Amino acid sequence: MAGYLTHFGLTKARTPYKDVVPPLTKTAFNGLVSLIKTAGGVQSRILVDEVGAILDGHSRQSIEPDCPFDIVHGLTTDAEKRAFAFAMNKRSRQMTNGQWIKALQKMKPTAFELRTQGMTQDQVADFLGTTRTTISTWERAASRNSKNDKPVVSAKVGRPKKVTPEVSEQVKSLLASGKTQSDVATELGISQRSVSAAKNGKPKTISGRALAVREQVAAGATLAPAAAKHRFTRNTYQRAAVVAESGDERLVKAMDAEVLTISGAWNLVDKSDEEITQAVEEAGLKVARKKHAQYSSKGKPVAQLVKELLRRTWVDWRGFNTALSRNNLPKAKEEKAELLHSCGRVREAVTSLLDRIEMVVGDVRKG
């Protein structure tokens, strides 16, 4: 089989995806040269697309220009090829944490492009070798930063919307058209669990589940299995059903929102209006305090990270400023890159902190 350059009739390699990860260090490159010489040539084939653009193996090809290769089929867009090149090089390349963060940040435009081409957040995350949370955070930040322009993608922002009967009908219609649960969840801005519940017709609220058990028992079902199917014991089902059928909207809402426990709401069914109102308000305050405590404990590490990153950014700024004052342009360029990287990490950390603040404020208001 002809080598890479000979097969494609090239005099120079095609390397549009060479910059997806940092190049090998001089020591690592020299080690690869020795390894290839000892083995008598490149043993691990490089990967290229149908037109000869190298996806994986730039260093090996630079050492042996007409090396053996394999063609990767099925990648139709530039974004898919760039993401594939990134994933392959990430697996084989030893990178520091800082290098990995920089390389991943450079893939944001590619991730957005893959999303506009119809990929789900999970699929893009798998393609890039990262998490769905990272992709979601990028999209929220892009939506927040685009004031006059449309968001890069239709990202799900904030808390998932409630699954109303109208949304349930949309879910069933989209599933019937052949879309996956993950795609439906992304399109409608709801969780995949909500899609599954809407598909199966299972109520999500405690009162709704209790009434569903009541209907099944009335239709002849055995109580214990019917209650267990809706995540009740016999005792909790009976108490939840009493609250659901009490007609007191305050108790039903407090139980469904888990402001009151099932037993707590059941104990208030026969109480006066004043006692019910006071109990619900006190329970709401307890939930708010608990949410605040959770926020304080979870938000503190993020706030500490912001503080440390700001300190690092200040150090990078001083280095950049000193290099400029001494007219050391190469050093200033290097310090500028570090400073921009630090600023990017600060922006991400602050965005994460803002997300936590918005989340806890929403939870407290709901409670």
> What's residue 160's pLDDT?
46
3 state SS of 48: strand
Which token pair is 52?
């000869």
> What's residue 150's pLDDT?
42
> What's residue 153's pLDDT?
43
Residue with tokens 């150090």, as numbered in its chain: 315
Q: Are 68 and 1 contacting, i.e. CB atoms less than 8 angstroms apart?
A: yes
> What's residue 157's pLDDT?
37
Q: Are 67 and 42 contacting, i.e. CB atoms less than 8 angstroms apart?
A: yes
> What's residue 149's pLDDT?
45
The amino acid occupying position 127 is: F
Query: d(Cα 171, Cα 180) in Å, to the nearest integer?
Result: 10
Query: d(Cα 289, Cα 103) in Å, to the nearest integer?
Result: 41
> What's residue 159's pLDDT?
41
DSSP string, 95-126: --HHHHHHHHHHTHHHHHHHHHTT--HHHHHH
Question: What is the pLDDT tens value at each position of the chain, 367 positions in all?
Answer: 688 899 889 899 999 998 888 888 888 888 889 989 988 888 888 999 999 999 989 999 999 999 999 998 888 889 889 888 888 877 667 766 667 777 878 888 888 888 888 888 888 887 777 778 788 888 877 776 654 444 444 433 334 455 566 677 777 788 888 877 777 777 776 766 677 666 666 666 888 888 888 888 888 888 888 888 778 888 888 898 888 887 788 888 888 888 888 888 888 888 888 888 888 888 877 776 666 555 555 445 666 767 777 877 888 788 888 878 888 888 888 888 878 877 877 777 777 767 766 665 665 555 4
The amino acid occupying position 199 is: K
3 state SS of 265: helix
User: Number of C-alpha atoms within 13 angstroms, CB side, residue 292?
Assistant: 8
Which token pair is 134?
């990272």
Q: Are 50 and 76 contacting, i.e. CB atoms less than 8 angstroms apart?
A: no
- Measured in Å, how far apart are the chain's first and last C-alpha atoms? 69
Other beta carbons within 10 angstroms of residue 215's beta carbon come to 10
> What's residue 366's pLDDT?
52
3 state SS of 55: strand
Q: Are 69 and 46 contacting, i.e. CB atoms less than 8 angstroms apart?
A: yes
